[in-house]
Chains A and B, each alone.
Chain A
């Protein structure tokens, strides 16, 4: 049982490049989330999904896009990367709200 799997673990992007952060869960959870964590800050919600085909914006959605075509996968797309998007990105899933299961994170640096 892998839980929540995030790939890649590390990535360096140049300004203006695009990339997709992958997130997959094998627990049949309906709810999935993307958070970012900046130094000294808490986790900020980027986007979330309550089920396949349904996504919605969180607190800091600008510069990102998501899709949820299956229950298992919730990729996060960065278009035109900017230095402000340098962060650690966490994907999480939940079935009943009583605690998330987090992935191990993707550390992204935009230079």
Chain B
């Protein structure tokens, strides 16, 4: 039972355009969401997060949107750069105090120069 889903395994975008990565979840009790970026042969690195009490969080070129009624979040990257080419994972956490994240399956973003 996949509680966090990323239905697009891959995405290609031209440099300078917007990249939109999507993530759906099934558990309405999740109270915190994060995006991680992963390059080959490296561990994932934290990118941006959002609390369930917000609907938007912005950090430079990266913006995460949360639609709780649709149980959907998205990551927007504007403008996209070739260095953004990586696998992006969304993750969600329950308010259990143990900070156990549930990860999606990832979306491979390729930004074309």
Give complex CA distance A98, B49 in Å.
8
Q: Is A4 in contact with chain B by the CB < 8 A criterion? A: yes
Contact flag A97-B32 (CB < 8 Å), given A41-B105, A42-B104: yes
User: Interface size class for chain A?
Assistant: 20 to 34
Q: Which among A44, A98, A101, A105 is the interface contact of B42 at CB below 8 angstroms?
A: A105
- Chain B residue numbers with a CB within 8 Å of A44 are 103
In contact, B45 and A102 (Cβ under 8 angstroms): yes
Q: Which among A56, A90, A97 is the interface contact of B44 at CB below 8 angstroms?
A: A90
User: For residue B90, which residue of chain A has the nearest CB?
Assistant: A42
In contact, B43 and A33 (Cβ under 8 angstroms): no
In contact, B105 and A40 (Cβ under 8 angstroms): yes
In contact, B99 and A97 (Cβ under 8 angstroms): yes
Give complex CA distance A29, B112 in Å.
38
Give complex CA distance A102, B44 in Å.
6
- CB of B54 to closest CB in A, whole Å: 14
- Chain A residue numbers with a CB within 8 Å of B101 are 43, 45, 100
| 30 A-B contact pairs sorted by A residue (CB < 8 Å) | A4-B43, A31-B99, A35-B103, A40-B9, A40-B105, A41-B105, A42-B2, A42-B4, A42-B89, A42-B102, A42-B103, A42-B104, A42-B106, A43-B101, A44-B103, A48-B100, A50-B97, A50-B98, A90-B43, A90-B44, A92-B43, A94-B99, A97-B93, A97-B99, A101-B46, A102-B43, A104-B41, A104-B42, A104-B43, A105-B42
